[in-house]
Amino acid sequence: MLWFLLLISIISGSYAQFENYEQNYGYVTVRPGAHMFYWLFHTTANVANYTERPLIVWLQGGPGGSSTGIGNFDILGPLDLSLQERNYTWVKNFNVLFVDNPVGTGFSYVDDLQYLTTTNDEIALDFVELMRGFYRDNPEFEGVPLYIYGQSYGGKMAIDMGIRIREAESANTINSNLRGIAMGNAWISPIDATLTWGPQLLAAGLVDQAGFEEIQRHAREAERLFNIGQFVASTNQWAATQQAVFRSTTRVDFYNILTKMPAFQPDTFQDAYSFARDIMVRDGLQTTIDSIASERQQLTLDQLMNTIVKQWLGIPEHVVWSSSSSPVFNTLRGDFMKPVTESIEKLLNETDIILSKYNGNLDLICNTPGQLLWVDRLQWPGAEGYKNAPRMPIWENNRLEGYYKSYGNFRFFWINEAGHSAPRDNPAGLLEVLRDMTSFP
């Protein structure tokens, strides 16, 4: 009953703020039985027409994390969980499109679980259909520069989306204008990430030698299973490696090694796969978000999305929003450990699309050491030039926010004082990523 009274209070005090933003939203049936939801916010930049600024698509990770909820209210949308204006929202400079992807995530839904996606390419094909529907609903955005930003598993999905979108553009079946893809703390090469958890934790003093060796034993087994094509078993072993980290570090937060996982997260008595899945689909959701809501007597994200937001957007009654979808994650279990480095090479070798890799240096689950390994192995014409390029500092307001290195159409950004969700943890550092790719702000 308390949350209902809080709902009435918030509606009377803040609900009208949704109306302060020009926006559009809706469903696109990407396949029979599969319905994907998008929520667009037009930029508030001082321009004659909002289409003068690029369109940025934000993809949450997991897979199964909701962009319309986590990405919007917890990371970079115009309003925060309190429905107060966020001063570093990307909407100040860009049109931002939040997509609940893959189908079955957030407000997106399927008529039957058989319609969930099983591979990254299926996800990409659905995304192309989503964008076709988006342009039908919003034709003024045809030809507007398009950039796809994906966090965590969203970064992995964005790569194959880029390939399929460019194919559709070349075939003149979509009027998009894809210019760039950003991979934020992305799940690009899972084995590289898993094998470097132990060394990173040992170097940071967060495990002793015995803990390091235990973590590495599990990680090497995940690698062995992957190498012999046992992809589901490799996913299960990746999960066991996460649990070994959890035990050896006394609950270090996989999304920020300077903090520990909150008490409401899974404990060591949960089976390893469910434990790891529930961590992954959280995808950087602010660990204290529920406790903050409780302290301030506000709605949790789940309550907000299933009451005020659901009513505002006119979501069908049978659709229940959740921050993460276990069925989506489970259905992709066989694809989870597969890398997309060959797809990155295809984009670098065959297109002029800008590829930016940015990483919060305090992340563990998609850590910087693991990212550097696959970057150094990339085969593309600019590989040698990139390796020899200088690493330059990122200064914002006399603060060192990180470093960057670039050559041709590939960039790498190291973001200081940030964990898994760098745009939320260090918005000033992300300004350089946005500025480099789009020439704004």
- Residue 299 CA, distance from chain mean position: 23
**Which is it for strands 95-100 and 145-151: parallel, antiparallel or unpaired?**
unpaired
Q: Residue ranges of the alpha helices (H) in 287-426?
A: 289-295, 301-304, 310-313, 326-331, 341-350, 368-377, 383-388, 422-425
Q: With contact defined as beta carbons under 8 Å apart, do 120 and 231 qualify?
A: no
For residue range 367-380, list pLDDT tens digits in order.
Answer: 999 999 999 999 99
pLDDT band of residue 18 (cuts 50, 70, 90) is confident
Q: What is the pLDDT of residue 268?
A: 43
Other Cβ atoms less than 10 A from the Cβ of 432: the count is 21
Which class would CATH give 2-189+336-438? alpha beta
Domain extent listing, the chain: 2-189+336-438, 190-284
Report the C-alpha gap between 367 and 374 in whole angstroms.
12
Q: What is the pLDDT of residue 441?
A: 79
Helices 209-227 and 190-203 pack at an angle, to 10 degrees, of 170
pLDDT higher at 85 or 284: 85
Structure tokens at 332: 């992709």
CA separation (Å) from 149 to 98, 120, 191?
Answer: 10, 16, 22
For residue range 164-179, list pLDDT tens digits in order.
Answer: 999 999 999 999 999 9
* Least confident segment among 277-286, 326-335, 338-347, 414-423: 277-286
- Is residue 334's pLDDT more than 80? yes
- Is residue 282's pLDDT more than 70? no
- Is residue 293's pLDDT more than 70? no
Report the C-alpha gap between 219 and 367 in whole angstroms.
14
Mean of pLDDT values over 315-322 = 96
Q: What is the pLDDT of residue 275?
A: 62
**C-alpha count within 13 angstroms, C-beta hemisphere, residue 263:** 1
H/E/C letters for each residue in 180-217?
Answer: EEEEECCCCCHHHHHHHHHHHHHHCCCCCHHHHHHHHH
- Is residue 83's pLDDT more than 50? yes
pLDDT band of residue 3 (cuts 50, 70, 90) is very low
Dihedral over Cα of 440, 58, 359, 205: its sign: positive
- Is residue 292's pLDDT more than 80? no
* Least confident segment among 74-83, 85-94, 208-217, 268-277: 268-277
The whole-chain average pLDDT of the chain stands at 90
Annotated catalytic residues are 152, 363, 420
* 3-state SS, residue 357: strand
Mean of pLDDT values over 311-329 = 94
Structure tokens at 313: 């957007």
How many helices (DSSP H) and strands (DSSP E) are in the chain?
A: 16, 13
Mean of pLDDT values over 324-332 = 93
- Is residue 272's pLDDT more than 90? no
Q: What is the pLDDT of residue 251?
A: 85
Amino acid in position 236: N
pLDDT band of residue 267 (cuts 50, 70, 90) is very low
pLDDT band of residue 189 (cuts 50, 70, 90) is very high
Report the share of the chain in percent with pLDDT over 70: 88
Q: With contact defined as beta carbons under 8 Å apart, do 92 and 131 qualify?
A: no
Phi-psi region of 250 (alpha: psi -120 to 50; beta: other; left: phi over 0): left
* Least confident segment among 12-16, 75-79, 419-423: 12-16
Q: What is the pLDDT of residue 122?
A: 98
What are the phi and psi torsion angles at 319 (to 5°)?
-90, 120
- Residue 178: exposed, middle, or buried by beta-carbon count in 10 A (0-12, 13-18, 19+)? buried
Structure tokens at 100: 């609940």
Q: With contact defined as beta carbons under 8 Å apart, do 429 and 422 qualify?
A: yes
Q: What is the pLDDT of residue 126?
A: 98
**C-alpha count within 13 angstroms, C-beta hemisphere, residue 129:** 19
Q: Which residues contact 253 (CB under 8 A, 6 or more apart)?
A: 259, 260, 261, 287, 364, 419
pTM of the entire structure?
0.92
